[in-house]
Structure 1
Amino acid sequence: MEFFLSGLILFIMTLFLSISLAYLFRSESKSSHVNLPPGKMGLPFIGETLEFLNTGRKGHPEKFISDRIAKYSSPIFKTSILAEPTVVVCGAVANKFLFSNENKLVESWWPDSVYKIFPSSAQTSSKEESKKMRKMLPNFLKPEALMKYTGIMDSIAQSHFQAAWEGQEQVLVFPLAKKYTFWVACKVFLSLEDPERVAKFADPFNVLASGIISLPVDFPGFPFNRAIKASNIIRKEIMSIIKQRKIDLAEKETSPKDILSHMLQATDENGKHMNELDIADKIIGLLIGGHDTASAAITFIIKYLSEIPHIYSQVLEEQMEIAKSKKPGELLNWEDIQKMKYSWNVACEVMRLAPPVQGAFSEAINNFVFHGFSIPKGWKLYWSANSTHRDPECFPEPEKFDPSRFAGNGPAPYTFVPFGGGPRMCPGKEYARLEILVFMHNVVKRFSWEKLISDEKITVDPMPMPSKGLPVRLIPHKHVD
């Protein structure tokens, strides 16, 4: 034990010394920049990362930014997050500027920890990776392609509710929402729907997701180290699926027309296929993006519907009209989804108050000036959804739950950004909309519910989640069509 502690102390001291020297060297290179935004860089290496993360874990992610906006009297300020000099930009004008200048002045950026968890991503730039995925995904995630998934998602939802909700007096919503969205993602991306096989690597995904945005300390017990181990377990399982799929594609004229098959058959401009490791890492990224954010949104939909009975009643009325129009055993179709206008307005208002993605990082690929401040090449920029979602100038009475904000033309451009915007608009927006609405249909036509913890704490790490999983008491409807 003494040897272990000594080794740990030596490791931490060595790590701190090396990164402090690197930070100081980088600070020297930054000193020549003039007219930087106001702000402080915090401690060497750590910067203000711990405060940035801890305000979220305490349930108030907007506090890190709002405190500094008030302190510096500026919607733009400098700081250091995840060992990077960072400029935080807030407001609709800033959102528009960043989204509109994607791949011109800025490009998407992920911390080094991501490249250690997804080693194949380090072979190309974030810009190239983003272009490659955005070119590949729209064919599968645009509305025309999603039409065929509506019935599939409804079938999965029905099986999910029969297995995990019906007959239960109470349930934990958050883990069950993750089971549903992960099951859907496995089906759509991998044509994998066997519940036992899906469950086999669902747990490692939870570990992986919580460690991606963390201090990159690769030492036992740290979230980053656990995330690397989890990614290796998941990658091994996906590689086995890839190898079997390649055999199936070679032997059969027909095979699942999912994203995995497309990746295996696609070639670049030189006629070269993607390698298996690259495909596996991209599938892992898609599975994370395809279920984590939607499960957070679903959980908070359940939370707000339990707190606001008249909103629940209106959602129920809309969904029961659709349920009554279906023949026995008939699955939902795309036309049914288009009728769920009020339900989607409710979901959007939930995502305004509890955005699944709090914000995102970009990297300046050129020196430029914004709002009168110099932004040096290589610095990171961070935009925050809460900076507009809770701004009374963008949304009057921002703490009030009001789905009518999304009726008609909806909010002003670049104010409601749970899916980003412009070239940075999430290509999975329609996919998320579909699986959220399918879930809402299936839950409200079966139950009403009551929260079991009235003041359950909300944490953000990196997505919002109830600290106890949102336990609810189920109240089945007497008649379910």
Structure 2
Amino acid sequence: MELFFFFLISLLLVYSIYFGIRTLAYKTKENVTGMRPSLPPGSFGWPIIGETLQFIAAHYEGTVDKFVSKRATKYSSKEFKTSLLGENFILFARWRPPSVQKLFPSMKFFFKFNEAQKLVASIDSFSRNQLKNNWEGKEEVQVHPLVNIINDTEKVSKLLYHFNHLNEGILSIQLRIPGTPFYRAIKAAEALRKEIYLIIKEGREALAKNLASPTQDVLSQMIAVPFDDGFMPELEIADKILAFLIGGQDTTTATITFAMKYLAEMPHLYNEVLKEQREVTALMKPREVLCWDDVQKMRYTWKFVNEIYWSVGFTQHNSVYYSEPEKFNPIRFEGSGPPPYSYVPFGAGPLMCPGKEYARMTILVFLHYAVKMFKWEPILPNEKLKFKLVHVPAEGFPVRLSPHQN
């Protein structure tokens, strides 16, 4: 215990010295120049209208990301000035903290909207395989974790050790000193890339020998399917698979777990979700695999999932914006929904979470098959939560399954 406190005090001292030096350097620069640092590069455009027309055009075309990335590239800066709607702005193009940028150096912008649609069939296959292989025929299962991007439990188990270190340091202070969370995260990211390179190599060989389909999983899609700017380089594939694994390992699986928890505790919500999913199935016939249009019809289910999410600032607990925020009520998302920027589990604006559509599809597709195949009840009704990157049930949310008789 004494050793732990000594380490903690030493770490706090290092952090204090680090930030003290940065603050002193800033103050010194301000005193020498007699003014604060100048504005970032950019252009205010035409008088009065500025760059409003370009921004509106990008908005209607669904290419606001290009409006941002084009200027960030032009001015070689992650921040730039512009003028919109008669007001001058400084636009920050960082959608990830610096620690994440260093851990995933090759990642620029993520899948675009139309490219995310290509993954529905892969997610459909994953969900059905998971339920068939790990749930069907069993009386009891652990719900969390549910979704693995790579359908190979031996490889996933091998990677978990590195995932834990990466998750612990992904949002930490950037100190590349042995023993710090960020240093361990860097080493973990390097180890994970080596493992993923091997998986990519195996995937290429399987595709070349026709032992795998180009659309059977996310990895095959990235290797074989050309995107707007050609095929993905291996480093970018590795970084994106890493990002998918982290998202699937924590945030997405946690959301699915809590969705199943609330469905078990509130039978009337379960019945509403089941009713909608059976309607989607009826409209699919004779198709058996979900497509993008099917996912768009899961409106009530997505409102239910929205009620599960909570934002970093807990803005949805504010009664100014939400009526009876303490009650679980998916109906609050009907009509115009909550006020702008009051509900931000994925962030907001053109640089919102790039994995939003992927997470949405994964959650909805899994719930589609889960509710159609089973009902369930919690084995530990008063199970406690633990926190890692997100809150999750401490015992993995064990449930007792009851398959539908149809």
TM-score by length of 2: 0.69
**C-alpha distance after superposition, 1:426-478 (max 9, x if no partner):** 2332222221111111111122222222232334432221222222222222x
Find the aligned partners of 2:258 and 2:29 in 1 and give their Cα distance.
Answer: 43
Cα gap change, 1:138 to 1:341, in 2 (>3 Å): closer
> Take 2:187 and 2:221, find their aligned partners in 1: how far apart are those partners?
27
8 Å Cα contact 2:172/2:182 also seen in 1: yes
Equivalent of 1:303 in 261, 283, 290: 261
Q: Which amino acid aligns with 1:461?
A: K
User: Could you say if the C-alpha distance between residues 306 and 285 of structure 1 is closer, same or farther in structure 2, counting changes exceeding 3 Å?
Assistant: same
Kindly indicate whether the alpha-carbon contact (under 8 Å) linking 1:213 and 1:462 is maintained by their aligned counterparts in 2: no
Q: Distance in 2 between matches of 1:441 and 1:205?
A: 28
Amino acid at match of 1:258: Q
Query: Cα–Cα, structure 1 residues 474 and 20, in superposed 2: closer, same or farther, change >3 Å?
Result: same
Task: Look up the match of 2:368.
Answer: 441
Contact preservation (8 Å) 1:457, 1:466 = yes
1:87-98 mapped onto 2 (5 Å cutoff): none
Task: Give the secondary structure class of the aligned counterpart of 1:417.
Answer: coil
Is the aligned partner of 1:28 residue 2:3? Answer: no
Residue 258 of structure 1 aligns to a residue whose secondary structure is helix
Please give the alpha-carbon distance, in whole angstroms, between the structure 2 residues aligned to 1:246 and 1:309: 46
Amino acid at match of 2:159: F
**Quick check: 1:470 aligned with 2:391?**
no
Could you tell me which of 156, 170, 174 is aligned with 2:144? 174
Q: Is the 8 A contact 1:290 1:428 kept in 2?
A: no
Verify the 8 A CA contact 2:284 2:294 in the aligned structure 1. Answer: no
Following the alignment from structure 1 to structure 2, what is the Cα–Cα distance between the partners of residues 249 and 332?
24
- Counterpart in 1 of 2:109? 133
Per-residue deviation, 1:210: 3.6
Q: Contact (CA 8 Å) 2:386, 2:394: kept in 1 or not?
A: yes
SS at match of 1:400: coil
Residue 332 of structure 2 corresponds to residue 345 of structure 1: no
Higher relative contact order (CA 8 A, sep 6+): 1
Q: Work out whether 1:104 is the aligned partner of 2:95.
A: no
Q: Equivalent residue for 1:417?
A: 344
SS of 1:474 mapped into structure 2: strand
Corresponding residue pairs, total: 343
Distance 2:93 2:286 in 1: 52
- Percent of pairs with identical residues: 41
**Residues 240-272 of structure 1: CA distance to partner in whole angstroms, max 9, x if unpaired?**
3445667899999x96673345799957xxxxx
| Residue in structure 1 matching 2:270, options 312, 322, 325 | 312
Residues 52-103 of structure 1 deviation map (CA, whole Å, 9 limit, x = unaligned): xxxxxxxxxxxxxxxxxxxxxxxxxxxxxxxxxxxxxxxxxxxxx9xx9997
Of residues 286-295 and 408-417 in structure 1, the stretch that sits farther from structure 2 once superposed is 286-295
Query: Take 1:332 and 1:297, find their aligned partners in 2: how far apart are those partners?
Result: 21
Provide the aligned C-alpha RMSD in A.
Answer: 4.1
The aligned amino acid for 1:28 is L
From 456, 460, 478, the counterpart of 2:383: 456
Cα 1:171–1:243, aligned 2, differ >3 Å: closer, same or farther?
closer
Q: Call closer, same or farther: CA 1:164–1:14 in 2, change over 3 Å.
A: same
| Matched ranges for 1:340-379 at <5 A | 340-351=298-309, 354-355=310-311, 358=312
- Give the equivalent residue in structure 2 for 1:150: 120
Change (3 A) 1:414 1:260: farther
Q: Distance in 2 between matches of 1:209 and 1:245?
A: 26
Seen in structure 2, the aligned counterparts of structure 1 residues 216 and 319 have a Cα distance that, compared at 3 Å, is same
Any gaps of 5 or more consecutive residues in structure 1? 35-96, 122-128, 187-192, 268-272, 359-383
